[in-house]
A and B are shown apart, each in its own frame.
Chain A
Amino acid sequence: MNHSISLTVNGARREFVLDDPRVTLLDLLRERLHLTGTKKGCDRGQCGACTILVDGKRINSCLALAISHDGADILTIEGVGRGDQLHPVQAAFIAHDGFQCGFCTPGQIMSAIGMMSEAQAGNDPERIRECMSGNLCRCGAYAGIVDAVLDAQAGMDESNQRRSA
């Protein structure tokens, strides 16, 4: 039995016909839309490489059935920058060497963007490590990742202050 769903992916509305309800959001993004920035690491919700934002919240796309998310608004790593202009979190990861092999990086960045909008960590490195614990980096670039998130958070705080001043 075929199921029709519609999703908004990086701002564009897309219609899909699913001939199999087993398709996860991760596989839909990678195999149907060829948005391969979202990575398949463990495929079991343990590594965070597949992190995307669904309706503004970070989740593991490997543990989400596409069919169950009919109508959802999805943001992936491909949708965070503006043309050639990097998202501030992307720029901060480059500035602070927040990666080595890069495989976990899209998930780390999506998770950091989600975390900053949750406003749960602020500029406390201990909180950042805690709030980012769902993203593993087997190269061990954690020190750079925390620095990058701190820097991006500081930049966001500054621009918020400017806006309210």
Chain B
Amino acid sequence: MKQFDYVRPATVAEAVAAAAQPGAAYLAAGTNLLDLMKGGVSRPDRLVDVTHLDGLDRIERLADGGVRIGALVSNADLAHDADFAKSYPAVAEALLSGASAQLRNAATVGGNLLQRTRCAYFYDTASRCNKREAGSGCDARDGENRTHAVLGWSENCIATHPSDFCVPLVALDAIVEIEGRNGRREIALDELHRLPGDTPERESALEPGDLIVAVRLPPAARGFAAHARYLKVRDRTSYAFAVVSAAAALRIENGKIAEARLALGGVAAKPWRARAAEDVLRNVAPTVDAFQEAAWRALTDAKPSGDNAFKIELARRIVVRALTLAAAGTPARIPALPASPFASTSGAIHA
């Protein structure tokens, strides 16, 4: 690991000033960053440790019916907050399907959003990677790429964003609160992560010094609590990143879908909101035919980036199944194997 200077700011303003310098990086739990630093993938000159800042570790119910999650709340504490899990069950299920219990205890909300891709060529410093070293090329393009992107990729980068948490969050219109050199601002989570295009090294809308201080769910997000699921296919049952995942949330009134939310994980460089699919589910009965139409719409623009054409069909099936599970109703308890299609409580038909 390269040598670095360690800074522990006392306030958010101090943190922003310290992190705005070239070569600086924020340190929260470090569950991803330290791994990257040990591998020489990330080589910051200065770590700005935000873990001792006050006021960033709270879950606040807002007067308008929304919720504000401090950036330093751990993944485990959020998932196990009974009121949060009841109001946003797909978010809790996604959190519990990610990483291991040890990592969830440490990893933070802000860090989860900003974790880096797990593309093996990004991690292997002997490989060419446009994300790690702009303009060097992409060895994933002709490499082992069965898990890579099928949506939104470019010839320069076919990496995926690995977060589970972000998938239901983006479906529920989450908002990211950012403290920067010019004060506080907020953006939709959907606008935080960038697609690669010609600049895969620029992964987010954040500017130097920008610190995510909170994630907010608007009042409407609570309206999907009765019909919300996260479903995740992975290469092993637990402690694995998604090959494909989907968050499905429905608001059902009088036997019809009043509003649908759908997002996919593991398919693109960002959590992928499927708005075209949501549109076809408005004011229709929650039937398998409708869900299949939605799945088709969600993947209309998908194309393989390598040996991963199977992910397109897999994603369609996961969408149908996630919607079917959501329509059946949020289970009273999160399944023993969170988000697993093999969970004994699934009760879903095979699409």
Taking Cβ atoms with an 8 Å cutoff, the residues of A that contact B are 1, 3, 20-22, 24, 43-45, 48, 51, 57-60, 63-65, 67-68, 70, 111, 114-115, 118, 120, 124, 126-127, 129-135
Contacts and interface: CB of A to CB of B under 8 A. Distances in A.
A118 B104 CA distance: 12
Nearest to B236: A133
A134 B101 contact: yes
B6 A45 contact: no
A60 B102 contact: yes
23 contacts: A44-B39, A48-B102, A58-B105, A59-B106, A63-B30, A63-B31, A63-B34, A64-B106, A68-B27, A111-B101, A111-B102, A114-B105, A118-B80, A126-B337, A126-B344, A127-B336, A129-B238, A130-B337, A133-B100, A133-B239, A134-B99, A134-B101, A134-B103
A48 B105 CA distance: 13
A65 B344 CA distance: 39
B1 interface: yes
A3 B49 CA distance: 14
Contact of A21 (B4, B29, B101, B237): B4
Per DSSP, chain B at the interface is loop
Per DSSP, chain A at the interface is mixed
Nearest to B240: A133
B336 A65 contact: no
Contacts of A131: 101
A22 B30 CA distance: 12
Contact of A59 (B1, B49, B51, B105): B105
A20 B2 CA distance: 11
B6 A59 contact: no
Interface string B25-38: 00101110011001
A58 B105 CA distance: 7
A157 to B, nearest CB: 18
A134 B105 CA distance: 12
A141 to B, nearest CB: 17
A124 B336 CA distance: 9
Contacts of B254: none
B6 A67 contact: yes
A129 B344 CA distance: 14
Interface centre among B38, B101, B237, B336 (most CB of A within 10 A): B101
B102 A58 contact: yes
B182 interface: no
Given A65-B30, A65-B34, 4 more contacts: A59-B105, A63-B106, A64-B106, A130-B238
Given A22-B1, A22-B4, A63-B106, A45 B336 contact: no
B47 interface: yes
Contacts of B3: 20, 22
Contacts of A70: 52
A73 to B, nearest CB: 14
Contacts of A57: 76, 105-106
Nearest to B79: A120
A22 to B, nearest CB: 5
A131 B47 CA distance: 32
Identify the 8 closest CB pairs spanning chains A and B, nearest first.
Answer: A134-B100, A133-B238, A21-B6, A133-B239, A57-B105, A126-B336, A59-B106, A134-B102
A3 B106 contact: no
Interface in B267-307: none
Interface centre among A21, A129, A132 (most CB of B within 10 A): A21
A57 B238 CA distance: 20
Nearest to A57: B105
Contacts of A21: 4-6, 47
